[in-house]
Amino acid sequence: MVVKNNIPSIVFIAPAIVLVAIFVYIFSGWSAWTSLTDWRIIGRMGKFIGIQNYIKLFAGDDIFRKCLYNTAKLIVLFIGITLPLGIICAIFLDLGVKGKGLFRAIYLIPLSFSFVASATMWGWMFMPDKGSINTLLRMLSLDFLTQPWITSTKQSIISVAIVYVWQFSGFATLVYYAGISSVDPDILDAARVDGANTFQRYVRVVLPLQKPATFTVLLILLMYSLRVFDLVWLLTGGGPAFSSEVLATYMYRVTFNQNLFAYGASISFFMFILSFVVIIIPVLIGTLKRMG
């Protein structure tokens, strides 16, 4: 009966489900199968070797461990800065600061940039000797603030995070601003009548109501930071000395530059599982909770 009543809906969503099933899950399955082989010659499939690639990955690959560490560091830095920055900017917008329109245009511009353009632009800005950031600092006699940015093994991943924050803080601001704008004015009026000042109204009333916005922002930022490839590839190439190598760049390097196709597939399948655990499961839990 349920099926009969929902036939039109099923018909409408069926093409999308079929396409996702084929192009996401069947190919992921193929990738999983590939990761269990020793395929390393282009044009000739390898033989089944069980979970040897995974054993090598977790037990004997220092670069992979470094990539995991770098990815985790990027996530913490990126989300740890972008979320609060988004909230602060959204509150300023909501307070009706002067030049709101201009500010909105400025923070949204980075979002419209492709990663290729931002990586190229920031790459030039980060150059230690001739880059515009250090040049500007030197012009202002602030030499002590100049940094090696992308050429330092200690700072390269931080530089990647800076570009990511620059690119996505506008998105976080946008989502939070929408969330803050949709707070019922009656609730805010009630708080005002109860004697709450502006700061208290935002902290005690508005922010606790931003859980859905936070969930959306967190999810999107997490997704982008887990799969980051193009920005790192073009900004630092994963270097120097693997200091900014992340899972996706290492997977590409191993697969296409070193021809270790099966080993690359094991990294890619690990990324799939990681994304599933970190992103899909919380989404499912949230959905189930909402359904009661």
Partner 1 sequence: MRKFLLFTLVVVLCFFTGALLFASEEKEQLIVYHWWTAGGEKEAIDAVFKIFNEKYPNIEIVENPVAGGGGGVMRGQIKTMVMAGESPDTFQLTYGTGMLASFAEVLEPIDEVWEGLPFPQLIKDMGTVNGRKVSIPLNMMRCNCLWYNKKLVDKIGVKIPMKNFDEFFAACEKIKKAGYIPYAVGAGSGQQFWWALTVEQIIAGAPHGGPAYVDKMYTGKANPAKDPAIREALEFLKTIMERGYVNTDYSALTWDQASDLLMTNEAVFYQMGDWAKGHFTSAGWKPKVDFDYVTSPGTAGVFTLNLDGFSLCKGAPHKDAVMKWLKLVSSVEAETAFCPIKGATPPRLDAPIDMYDEISKDILKAFRDPSTKIVQCAFAGPPEAWLDVYGGVISKFVESRDIEQGIKDFADGYKKVFGK
Residue entry with tokens 């949204």: 108
Cβ contact 241:254 at 8 Å: no
If the CB atoms of residues 82 and 244 are measured against partner 1, the closer one turns out to be 244
Looking at 72-80, 86-94, 252-260, 270-278, which segment touches partner 1 (CB under 8 A)? 252-260
Separation CA 44–CA 26 (nearest Å): 21
Query: Which of residues 35, 53, 118, 151 is near partner 1 by CB under 8 A?
Result: 151
Quote the least distance from Cβ 111 to partner 1, whole Å. Answer: 24
SS3 48: strand
Among residues 31, 32, 40, 218, the one that binds partner 1 under rule CB under 8 A: 40
Residue for token digits 């931003």? 210
- Is residue 148 close enough to count as binding partner 1 by CB under 8 A? yes
Residue 292 is a binding residue for partner 1 (CB under 8 A) = no
User: Which 43-82 residues touch partner 1, going by CB under 8 A?
Assistant: 43-44, 63
Q: Which of 107, 210, 253, 265 binds partner 1 (CB under 8 A)?
A: 253
Task: Give the nearer residue to partner 1 in terms of CB position, either 225 or 255.
Answer: 255
Neighbours of 244 (CB within 10 A): 30
256: contact with partner 1 by CB under 8 A: yes
Residues 6+ apart with CB under 8 A from 259: 40, 41, 42
Note whether 11 binds partner 1 by CB under 8 A.
Answer: no
By CB under 8 A, is residue 22 in contact with partner 1?
no
282 is an interface residue for partner 1 by CB under 8 A: no
* Six token digits for residue 76: 């913490």
How many CB atoms sit inside 10 A of residue 92's CB? 14
Given a contact cutoff of 8 angstroms between Cβ atoms, the answer to whether 243 and 104 are in contact is no
Number of residues that bind partner 1 (CB under 8 A): 34
User: Who's near 226: CB < 8 A, 6+ residues apart?
Assistant: 71, 75, 247, 271, 274, 275, 278, 279
134 Cβ contact list (under 8 Å, min separation 6): 127, 128, 146, 147, 149
User: Is residue 197 near partner 1 by the rule CB under 8 A?
Assistant: no
Q: Is residue 171 part of the contact set for partner 1 (CB under 8 A)?
A: no
Residue 97 CA: distances (Å) to CA of 105, 145, 206: 14, 31, 18
Segment contacting partner 1 by CB under 8 A, of 1-9, 36-44, 193-201, 268-276: 36-44
Nearer to partner 1, 32 or 127 (CB): 127
Nearer to partner 1, 147 or 216 (CB): 147
- Helix then strand then coil, % of the chain, to nearest 5: 75, 0, 20
Residues numbered 104 to 143 that lie near partner 1 (CB under 8 A) are: 123, 126-129
Peptide bond into 240 cis (omega under 30): yes
The least distance separating partner 1 from the CB of residue 233, rounded to whole angstroms, comes to 6
**Given the rule CB under 8 A, which residues bind partner 1?**
40-44, 63, 123, 126-129, 148-151, 153, 233-243, 252-253, 256-260
